[in-house]
Amino acid sequence: MAENREFFYRRLHSLLGVIPIGIFLIQHLVVNHFAVYGEESFNKAASFMEHLPFRYVLETFVIFLPILFHAVLGVYIVFVAKNNVRRFSFFRNWMFYIQRITGIITLIFIVWHLWETRIAIGMGNAELDYSLMEDILSTPFMFWFYIIGVVSTTFHFANGLWSFLVSWGITITPRSQKIATYATLLVFLAVTYIGVRSIIKFAYGI
Ligand code: HEM
């Protein structure tokens, strides 16, 4: 019974990492990328998101609660759970550990990012516009903090997609897992480019 429950929670953890958290991540980075086309474009896109109907319901059930569940169980998996030693290649074992390390870095990054954006805006201490991110990213320290945070998150998502496909029995054969390695590498490069590109624009205006 307890094993069944653990199986269910692990499956839910895996699913939430892709739907809705992974989808939200892509959507969030794509909206940020409007910054590359100029201040006005970003402000329009951000304001559209800010004025979506049922915004608080969406934020709570599509973003906040899934991330909270995934993060809490994620920390448990990293520090407490006993993982079955998987019989994968040397490369895959490394990916397995980096998945856990990037989970922790991503958690630190998300908490900080949330604090200085969504929470600051909610408390009336900041306004959601281009200059908010321009100010945040104005020091080299914060620039690199955001670069590391975003790359950690995109790696965690793309590599997580690979293990999601295994967990859900979608890629079973070694050949399909190899194809998935290349496909998720492409996902990593594309999503990272989108995320990093807007950070450079906010920080240096180029
Ligand atoms: C934007 C944020 C995040 C996204 C998009 C995301 C996405 C994913 C995905 C897709 C997986 C693969 C699921 C599977 O193995 O079947 C995963 C696994 C994992 N995530 Fe996250 N995650 C995020 C944040 C976090 C955070 C904050 C933590 C906290 C430490 C975390 C810890 C983990 C762990 C430990 C695993 C491995 C689970 C296992 O191998 O059984 N994740 N994540």
pLDDT of residue 83 exceeding 80: no
CA of 187 to the centre of ligand 1 (A): 16
Q: Using the atom order of ligand 1, give the atom closest to the CA of residue 168.
A: 16
Query: Chain-wide mean pLDDT for the chain?
Result: 96
Tens of pLDDT, residues 138-183: 999 999 999 999 999 999 999 999 999 999 999 999 999 999 999 9
Residues with CB under 6 A from ligand 1: 10, 14, 17-18, 21-22, 25, 70-71, 74-75, 77-78, 99-100, 103-104, 106-107, 110, 153, 156-157, 160-161, 163-164, 167
The residue with greater pLDDT, 111 or 3, is 111
Domains with residue ranges and CATH for the chain: 2-204 (1.20.1300.10)
Secondary structure of the chain as H, E, C letters: CHHHHHHHHHHHHHHHHHCCHHHHHHHHHHHHHHHHHCHHHHHHHHHHHHCCCCHHHHHHHHHHHHHHHHHHHHHHHHHCCCCCCCCCCHHHHHHHHHHHHHHHHHHHHHHHHHHHHHHHHHCCCCCCCHHHHHHHCCCHHHHHHHHHHHHHHHHHHHHHHHHHHHHCCCCCCHHHHHHHHHHHHHHHHHHHHHHHHHHHHHHHCC
Q: Binning pLDDT at 50, 70 and 90, where does residue 79 land?
A: very high
Tens of pLDDT, residues 85-121: 567 789 999 999 999 999 999 999 999 999 999 999 9
